[in-house]
Amino acid sequence: MVTRRSIVQALAACATAAGARAATTATTLTAADVHPKDYPTVAAVNWINEQLASEFGGEIALRVYHSGQLGSEKDTLELARIGALAITRVHSSVINNAVPATRILSLPYVFDSTQHMRRAFDGAFGAEILAACERRGLIGLALFDSGARSFYNALHPIEAPSDLHGLKLRVPQSDIFIETVAALGASPTPLAYSAVFSSLSTHLIDGAENNWPSYYTSRHFEIAPYWSESEHSYAPDMLLMSKRVADALPPRQREFLLDAARRSLPLMRTRWDELVERARRTVVDAGVAVAPLDKPAFRRAVQPLLDRYLHDPEVKRLYDLVRDSA
């Protein structure tokens, strides 16, 4: 029986050969995502594969493993760094420690809106973030929307930071997210995304924070029906490629793939916007209560945390680039 473990072991075993096939033979590159097959990020990678097929007639193709078939985001990131996996999509918080420049993406209230975020990502700021990945053996292909993150819980509406006090909230396994939730007075509980539903069901946690599509597709709204639109973070997803694999490709294939990744953004964003609208409409129709929220109070509560990070000249420089796009 083919298992995820056997697939990962096979990928690791052929790490060097995966991207170094001769130009006269077909090359199949493996791509991974924890999201389901119809998710916007998976759709974007499938679109890239279609462009490769159209341009090269089967000389190079992507084999896309969705739904976490190859492990967690941390697993696939490490496989990409060593060259055992060609492409992976991960949340930016996963690489905050490995690529310090990405910390600015996770800090609270850096971006004002989806439009502001996209302008920053499409300009000099986004180019710098993607370029910074190369020092860790990764090629930054694209910054994909991951939406505005807000709080939801099973107990009561959250309208002010004081309503978070004492709540146990799941956060990504990221120092900045832990610090942000603690600054707001809640008890941060770092957990893998896959553990949130069971943790809500068993009352290990009272709530979490995420975007509308994740809240909907994970069915968290069935257990935690109180949503509060804090929009405290716009930390994106990142599409990354193994530098080792990229360097082994013929130049024309490599450059076309990188360009196709950039051109996948309009498709991804259109699919994302449609999914956000559908998710919000569905959960509200199901009875989820969307609480009015004192956003200025939330901004004030986390300002000391933001100021502390901005003491780092490099973080401050990147922050100023973002604010120039506001």
Q: What's residue 252's pLDDT?
A: 98
pLDDT level of residue 194 (50, 70, 90 thresholds): confident
How far is the C-alpha of 130 from the C-alpha of 140, rounded, in Å?
A: 4
How far is the C-alpha of 89 from the C-alpha of 45, rounded, in Å?
A: 9
- From first CA to last CA, the distance across the chain in angstroms is 52
pLDDT tens-digit series, residues 206-246: 999 999 999 999 999 999 999 999 999 999 999 999 999 99
Residue 92 DSSP one-character state: G
pLDDT tens-digit series, residues 102-120: 999 999 999 999 999 999 9
pLDDT level of residue 11 (50, 70, 90 thresholds): low
The whole-model pTM stands at: 0.90
Q: Do 197 and 170 touch, CB atoms closer than 8 A?
A: no
Residue 248 DSSP one-character state: H
How far is the C-alpha of 271 from the C-alpha of 39, rounded, in Å?
A: 8
Q: Do 325 and 123 touch, CB atoms closer than 8 A?
A: yes
For 131-149, give one letter per residue: b (16+ CB within 10 A) or e. Answer: ebbeeeebbbbbbbbbbbb
pLDDT tens-digit series, residues 30-81: 999 999 899 999 999 999 999 999 999 999 999 999 999 999 999 999 999 9
pLDDT tens-digit series, residues 236-262: 999 999 999 999 999 999 999 999 999
| Complete domains list, the chain, with CATH | 4-144+236-264 (3.40.190.170), 149-234+276-324 (3.40.190.170)
pLDDT level of residue 21 (50, 70, 90 thresholds): very low
Which among 223, 176, 222, 181 is positioned nearest to 204, based on CA atoms? 223
How far is the C-alpha of 48 from the C-alpha of 258, rounded, in Å?
A: 9
- Answer yes or no: is pLDDT of 24 > 60: no
Residue 81: Cβ within 10 Å count: 20
pLDDT tens-digit series, residues 260-285: 999 999 999 999 999 999 999 999 99
Give me the DSSP letters along 132-201.
HGGGGTEEEEEEE----EEEEESS----SGGGGTT-EEEE-S-HHHHHHHHHTT-EEEE--GGGHHHHHH
